[in-house]
Amino acid sequence: PQSGSISIGGINVKNIDKNELMDTVSFVFQNSHLIKGSILDNVRMGKPNATDKEVLAALKSAQCMDIIEKFPDGVNTVIGSQGVYLSSGETQRIAIARAMLKNAPILILDEATAFADPDNEAKVQAALNNLAQHRTVIMIAHRLSTVQDADQILVMKNGAIVESGTHSDLIKLQGEYAKMWDNYNKTVQWHIES
């Protein structure tokens, strides 16, 4: 930060060993990438010493069983080879399974549902809801439906926080968030007529 500090448990992150800090935080990014390897290997990156049973439990919690079941080799399917590719929403769910397996107390979601196709969006959201339980979650999102149930929403404009509160608090303010929510609801109702 250019001013102030970021603390975890009252300790400035500058004073936390880099490896310990990385063990404390899990990330799910907007554009998650998978390695060329099996689904099992991709998820196990979150906890290299995890058992197959632990990996399967993470895949199940991340709503990935439909992905596993569509391939004859299941969790041993190698991604990126022999024409085996996943959609962006499926890739996100595998990345979420990886974060679940890591089981870090702090989770940062950076536009984690942005590229989910309509078929995957509900599954990605359900997986994120499972992942967020019992954790501190920092969620960066433009899609307001993603954040409406958050305990605290910080509305930013031009790099500064202009409003904060719950969804209902911010709607009552009739400020920036309320305007964005109104615009969001209008776009959700768009449809194409012939």
The pLDDT profile of the chain, 194 residues, written as one tens digit per residue, is: 788 999 998 999 999 999 999 999 999 888 888 999 999 999 999 999 999 999 999 999 999 999 999 999 999 999 987 778 898 888 988 999 999 999 999 999 898 777 667 677 778 777 778 878 888 999 898 888 888 889 999 999 998 999 999 999 999 999 999 999 998 888 766 666 66
CA 57 to chain centre: 18
Q: In the prediction, which pLDDT does 71 show?
A: 93
Q: Find residue 7's DSSP bridge partners.
A: 12
The kind and range of the H/E element at 140 are strand 136-140
| Cα angle: 114, vertex 116, 120; to 5 degrees | 150
Beta pairing class for 25-29 and 106-110: parallel
Give the C-alpha separation, 75 to 136, whole Å. 29
Q: In the prediction, which pLDDT does 194 show?
A: 66
Do 70 and 103 form a contact (C-beta atoms < 8 A)? Answer: no
- Tokens 């099992």 -> residue: 40
Give the C-alpha separation, 89 to 80, whole Å. 16
Do 107 and 131 form a contact (C-beta atoms < 8 A)? Answer: yes
Q: In the prediction, which pLDDT does 148 show?
A: 87
3-class secondary structure for 90-106?
Answer: HHHHHHHHHHHHHCCCE
Q: In the prediction, which pLDDT does 14 show?
A: 93
Q: Which pair of structure tokens corresponds to residue 125?
A: 């959201």
Q: In the prediction, which pLDDT does 122 show?
A: 78
